[in-house]
Structure formats: C-alpha cells, structure tokens
Structure 1
Amino acid sequence: MDPQMIAAGLAAGAAIGLVLGLVGGGGSIIAVPLLVYLVGVASPHAAIGTAAVAVALNALAGLAGHARAGTVKWPCALTFSLAGVAGATMGAHLGKAMDGQRLLALFGAMMVVVGLAMLRPRRSPENPDVRLTRASAGSLLPRLVPAGLGVGLLAGFFGIGGGFLIVPALIAATGMPLRSAVGTSLVSVAALGLTTAASYALSGYVEWGLVALLVAGGLAGALIGIAAGKRLAGAKRAMEIGFALLVVAVGAYVVVRGLG
C-alpha cells in the first residue's frame, strides 16, 4: 500500500469509530462506500468483508466505554444478538452469491428507506428502566427475537454490522432511550459483524492490511465519538435527525454509483 492509501485507510477508520462511538451504528454505512470509492478497493465483496471485520472490532472498542458508563442493557443485548447471529449466518451466504455492484445498489436503497423511516418522530414513550427479566420476558421476547433475526438477516446479506438498523429496532422493541440503545446496540454490532466477517473471510474476501489501518484509526475516532455523545445527550432528537440524514445521503450516492 502506498502512503496515500495508508492515509485514506486511517481516515476511514477514524470516521467509522467516530460514528460508532457517537450513535452506536452506521459505521459500515460509511466503511463500505469509503473503501470502494476513496481507498480504492476494487471488489465490493472484499470491501464488505474488510469493513465487517473493522466495524466489529471498532464496535468492541466502543462497547468498553459504554459498558463503563452503564448504558448497556445486557440481557436485551444478548437476546437480540443471539437471534441476529442466526439471521446473519443465513444472510451472508445469500449476499456472497449476488453480483457485487447489484448488492451495493440494493444496500444503498435500503439505507435510503431506513433513513427516511428514522426521520419520523417516535410516538411511543421512553422507558429508561426497561429490563429483560422473568416478569417482562413475556412481553419483550416476542419483540426482541424477531427483530434480532430480521436485522441479522439483512446485516449478513449486506455484509454490515447493522447498527443503523439495530438502534431503531431496539427502541421500537423495548422503548429504551436512545443513549441506552446506542450502548446496547454495540453488542449486536460486534456479534453480527464478526459473524459476517467470518463468512467473508472464509471465502477470501478480507484485506487484512486495511483492517489494521481501519482499526487503528477507529480507536481514536471511537474515543472522540463517545466523549461527544455524552456532551450531546441533551440533543437526542438532533442526533437522530442528523444520523438519518447521513444514512439517506450516503444511501442515495451508493445507489447512483452502484447502478452506474
């Protein structure tokens, strides 16, 4: 790799870590387009596999900070993740069988749909004290398990950590506040990313040198993102809107480039 590619890889990693630390998802939304269009990875499948490894590792780094802050609801996170891993395993096999450019275009279209859905204001009240216990299992499990399975299927198919799907899915299933959903989502982002990454790595679709660069840049970005997230905790709706607009904008760009 030449110095320009090394610098681009580090910058891409910093952006991934920043987004993961700030909003708990969207790292792979940025990672795949950056690897394809900025860093210059020729194969969309290789970009997806490489991004999946880096996003999973950066999510683990971000998770450590959120765990110390007490924003991770572990029983909900583990339940969602187990269902998601099953879905991601099936989705990865389907995604690798599809043409790379067509896969990118579909990925972008899904991003636009999800981003527009996130712009809609929430109507259900928050429940900051929500817990998955024996008493609440009857109401929470029927929502958490199907949501995790569906998100995992999409995450595996598109080769992503799925954080931009996991955060709204957790909020819809449990009513937990955004800050808790961000921390909790990182457990699933790591689990789904590692599942998808393992599938792509076995097929030779991971560039390990770029993974190292993305992780190195991501560690710095994640620290900045977590600190910024604490300061912006009062601007919850602004964070949601900003994240949604980012998803729509990048998704539209990926659709145009994928179809072109």
Structure 2
Amino acid sequence: MLEIVLFVLLGLIAAIFGSIVGLGGGIIIVPALMLLGSQLTGAPIDHATAVGTSLTVLIVTALASTMSYAKEKRVDFRSGWMLFITSGPATMIGSLMTGLLQGGAFQLVFGLFMLSMAGLLIAREYLKPITKAWPIERTYVDAAGNVHTYGFAIAPALAVGFGVGLVSGLFGIGGGSLFVPVMVLLFRFPAHVATATSMFVIFLSSILGSGVHGWLGEIDYWLVLLLVPGAWIGGKLGAYIAGRMTGKKLLWLLRITLILLAIQLIVEGLAKL
C-alpha cells in the first residue's frame, strides 16, 4: 500500500513541476525510477523501461496540462503543430536509440544532460531574448491586456523540433527542458505561451515515442497505472499554479533537485563503466 502511495506522489510531484515550467515531468520520473526502483518494486528498473514508462505517463501529464492551458487560450496550436512535424519522428528515432546506451553509459550521459538542464534553467534568468526580426510573426494578448509579439523562421524551428524530439525519445523527458528556453530566448515567445505550447508538442510526441518503446517491450504498464492518477492531477494543478504565480521558488527547488539527481546518476554511471 505504501508503495502505491509513493508512486502516486511521484507522478503528482513530477507533473506539477513539469507543467509549471513546461518540462513534462519525465526529467524527475526517469531518474526516480532508476534510482529507487529496487526500494519501490523489489527489483531494479532498467533505464529503457524507465524511459518508456515515463514517456507513456507524459501523455497523460501533457494532455491534462494542455487542456487546462487551452481553456486559458495560452496554447499556440499553429506553432505547436509545425514543431511536431520534426519533433514527432525524432522522438521515435530517440526511442529506438535508448537501448543502445548500455551499462553505466546511459546514467552517465543522462546525468550530464540533467546537469546541463539545471544550468540552462539558471542561465535563463539572466539571458535576454534576441531582437532578431523573424519572417513569421505571432501576437499574444495576456490577461492584463498587454500585447506580446514573437516569431520564428520555419527552418530553425523545424531544426529545434528535431533536436528536442531526439532528446525526448532518448531520455523520456518530454523535451520541454529544451523547448521552453529556446522558444523564449530565440523566438521571443512569452513564457506562459512557450510553456503551454511546449506541453502540447510533448503530448503529441510522447504518443509516438511511447508507441516505439511499447513495441520494443520497454514499458511497465503496472507502473504507468500507478503513476497516471498523480500525473493527471499534477498536470492540471501545475497549469493552475503556473497561471497565478511566477514559480521562481519552485524553479529553484527544481534546479537543486536536478543537480542532486544528476550527481547521483553520474557517480553511479562512472562506477558501472
């Protein structure tokens, strides 16, 4: 019974963080399953199963968040569908590559990736969006009536979609950890629109990526059932919180958590090499 409660809480916490900053929650679920699998299930959870399970749960998290954001008209569906053109297929390719990183290689690479994501989340506070005029422009009017103008070019946007999708499928993290900073800094998306649109793309890409992992037998469906209730509630709760606060304190908690998890994964990965 305690294990069930812990899995529900894991899905809840990961989804709340993921929805607030557009991460998708996988960046917490994957290392948690790998590091705590033995304690929670009585047997180790291999990295491919952790990734496949996480990506499947992300479908629910991202759907819940997208529905909440859509009600507040924060999702740029046109931009989201365009990013999905390359993000979707790339997520499938990344999913096929997960099993190629054997032994401690996956933990080491994933730990280094998480460390870089923590650094990116910190740097984002001090970097300003570029002022380049993009050929495609969008406008967004926030709740206070302020008009935000942002834009992009098709080629770099598709390239970003491919890169993020590849990482998403490989690590099962959803890709928002890369999508949101790039959308904000490179294309000048308003933060709330970037987060909401990122969750929409994550929802679509996770369906394809989890399909590949399922085909490879890399999904623990019992774990999915345990994580989904918390993920659904957390996805909606995170979207609610994101719309009413800056989330700076939660962001710092997330950064610290990512750094600690990254260090643990790097140490274990090096020990297994």
The two structures share one fold, judged by TM-score above 0.5: yes
Other-structure match for 1:171: 184
1:1-260 alignment runs, 5 A limit: 3-40=1-38, 41-120=44-123, 121-124=126-129, 130-131=137-138, 139-233=152-246, 242-260=253-271
Pairwise CA distance, 1:171:
1.7
Q: Sort the Cα spacing of 1:84 and 1:12 in 2 relative to 1 into closer, same or farther, 3 A.
A: same
Pairwise CA distance, 1:16:
1.9
User: Equivalents in 2 of 1:108, 1:18: separation in Å?
Assistant: 22
Residues 83-134 of structure 1: per-residue CA shift (max 9 Å, x gap)? 111222222222222215321220110111122133222222689x9529xx
- TM-score scaled by structure 1? 0.86
SS of alignment partner, residue 128 of structure 2? coil
Contact conserved, 2:130 with 2:185, CA < 8 A, in 1? Answer: no
Runs of 5+ unmatched residues, structure 2: 39-43, 140-148
Residues 28-58 of structure 1: per-residue CA shift (max 9 Å, x gap)? 1100122122343421211111111001221
Q: Which letter maps to 1:113?
A: S
Q: CA RMSD in A?
A: 2.6
Q: Sort the Cα spacing of 1:78 and 1:241 in 2 relative to 1 into closer, same or farther, 3 A.
A: farther
User: Equivalents in 2 of 1:238, 1:146: separation in Å?
Assistant: 32
Runs of 5+ unmatched residues, structure 1: none
The size of the alignment, in residue pairs, is 252
User: Equivalents in 2 of 1:45, 1:30: separation in Å?
Assistant: 15
Contact conserved, 2:130 with 2:187, CA < 8 A, in 1? Answer: no
SS of alignment partner, residue 131 of structure 1? strand
Pairwise CA distance, 1:231:
2.1
User: Equivalents in 2 of 1:201, 1:179: separation in Å?
Assistant: 32
Contact conserved, 1:5 with 1:39, CA < 8 A, in 2? Answer: no
Name the structure where strand makes up a greater proportion of residues: 2
User: Equivalents in 2 of 1:71, 1:27: separation in Å?
Assistant: 20
* Identity rate, percent: 24
Name the structure where helix makes up a greater proportion of residues: 1
